[in-house]
Amino acid sequence: MERPPSVDQLARSLAPTGLPHPLTVEVAREAIRTDRVAEADAMARSRIRRMLVPVINATGVLLHTNLGRAPLAYSGVADYSNLELDLATGTRGSRQAAVGELLATACGAEAAMVVNNCASAVLLALAAIGTDNGVAVSRGELVEIGGAFRVPDVMAQSGARLVEVGTTNRTRLADYRQAVSVHDVATVLKVHQSNYRIVGFVEETTVAALATLEVDVLADIGSGLLDAACPWLDGPPPRWLDGEPAARQTLEAGADLIMFSGDKLFGGPQAGIIAGRQDLVAACSRHPLARALRPGGLVLAALQDTALAYLRRDGLAIPFWRMATTPIEELLARAGAIAGCVPAVAVVDTEAVPGGGTLPTVSIPSAGVRLEGDRTAELRDGDRPIVARVEDGATILDLRTVAEGDDAELIDALRGLDRP
């Protein structure tokens, strides 16, 4: 019986995989323990795949939660920054000030601040503002979104007292007015339904109507559309945005505070943005939870870059908007070029979707290539994984979510599927 190699010898043979030595040692030990020495290289490769790696998103889902939602390009040099230093006075400053001012300007608010994600923003706003009296929420907006985020649970953790109003499908202003007078409600929370729609015999109360009540109106607008007019794009707003609540218009309608995600329609890093009345934002920033939920310097720097692109009205500098608004003719031309290089694929019309719990009933005309059979596992197994989708037994690679510079890599991967 052949004696297995030493752990050190096998670990050193795995050095070309690029794994640090402590990890190759782990792989080597496992390979020897399970009598899979011959598979050690494949095991090391599998270990790499369990780490975060860049992928090509060919699913047609623009804000794919499993793939990090909005694509983000950010890099910085190895420098210190004035994260919490006031350069004018030389004294300690606020990490919220610089980016908060930019975000406030971008969405037309008096002030703004940043936390980890939108759930954190809702939690902090309720904890800072909604704990003295009841908070009224429509029964049709007591939603659960991905990751078991439930509005009633978040309210309970914040210490706010939930007052349910209306019914699942119809909530009128009179329902809120009764809650204010009978249940000592001083705050109303309006929640974007995000990843589902109720249609048919329905009625909801607008922010403008809620603003007629003498209470604080908080609005979780979810997806982070800054302005319904999309002034950062050439031409009119895309039709698929119709009906999506936007930060500027929600504040103009009378909301006192809004909360939204940074990594959805905003197109930045994962973050939660709170914007609105200066005194309410200040109350949030003073709350003890604010420190626990604050973002790091890298997130703030990436948000700053994204906010500046909006203020320059340079939508093409934001990868999400660049992909979402690429003309269908360009996508068809790219698909034709790929098909011309890979005879096994055919050009196909497709439908992309926003994704990420955004605009659940909306699709966006797109184009891609079609390959017979389910080849998704093989595509994911490449040096740079390619994530595609399967429809009617065929593999579809939707180009709306693929950067144009990645087409050559797609071609190589598709050609490789037919190689022995």
Q: 178 with 240, same domain?
A: yes
Q: 262 with 382, same domain?
A: no
Q: 158 with 32, same domain?
A: no
Q: 245 with 344, same domain?
A: no
**Pairwise pLDDT comparison (73 vs 313), residue with the higher score:** 313
Q: 119 with 241, same domain?
A: yes
Produce one character per residue of 140-149: b if its CB has 16 or more CB atoms within 10 Å, e if not: bbbbebeeeb
User: Residue 210 pLDDT more than 70?
Assistant: yes
* 215 belongs to a structural domain: yes
The token pair that represents 95 in the structure block: 């990490």
User: Residue 420 pLDDT more than 60?
Assistant: no
* 304 belongs to a structural domain: yes
* 1 belongs to a structural domain: no
- Nearest C-alpha neighbor of 191 from the set 255, 240, 242: 255
Q: 308 with 363, same domain?
A: no
Q: 111 with 244, same domain?
A: yes
CATH value at residue 374: 3.90.1150.180
* 81 belongs to a structural domain: no
The number of domains in the chain is 3
Q: 349 with 400, same domain?
A: yes
Cα-based distances in Å from 11 to 4, 21, 29, 38: 13, 7, 8, 13
* 86 belongs to a structural domain: no
* 0.85 surpassed by pTM: yes
pLDDT score recorded for residue 148: 64
pLDDT digits (tens, 9 = 90+) for 263-298: 999 999 999 999 999 999 999 999 999 999 999 999
Q: 246 with 388, same domain?
A: no
Q: 300 with 390, same domain?
A: no
CB atoms within 10 A of CB 62: 29
Q: Which of 255, 287, 314 is the last residue of a domain?
A: 314
- Please state the rounded mean pLDDT for residues 366-386: 95
pLDDT score recorded for residue 54: 93
Residue 186 contacts residue 132 (beta carbons within 8 Å): yes
- Please state the rounded mean pLDDT for residues 39-57: 94
Q: 230 with 292, same domain?
A: yes
* 207 belongs to a structural domain: yes
Q: What angle do CA 9, 12, 13 make, to 5 degrees?
A: 85
- Nearest C-alpha neighbor of 244 from the set 195, 183, 180: 195
Q: 137 with 275, same domain?
A: yes
* 273 belongs to a structural domain: yes
Q: What is the DSSP string of 185-212?
A: EEEEEEE--TT----SS-B---HHHHTT
Domain interval for residue 385:
56-71+326-416
pLDDT digits (tens, 9 = 90+) for 305-327: 999 999 999 999 999 999 999 99
pLDDT class for 18, splitting at 50, 70, 90? very high
pLDDT score recorded for residue 143: 82
**Strand 364-372 relative to strand 394-398, pairing:** antiparallel
- Nearest C-alpha neighbor of 174 from the set 213, 130, 134, 129: 213
User: Residue 195 pLDDT more than 70?
Assistant: no
* 307 belongs to a structural domain: yes
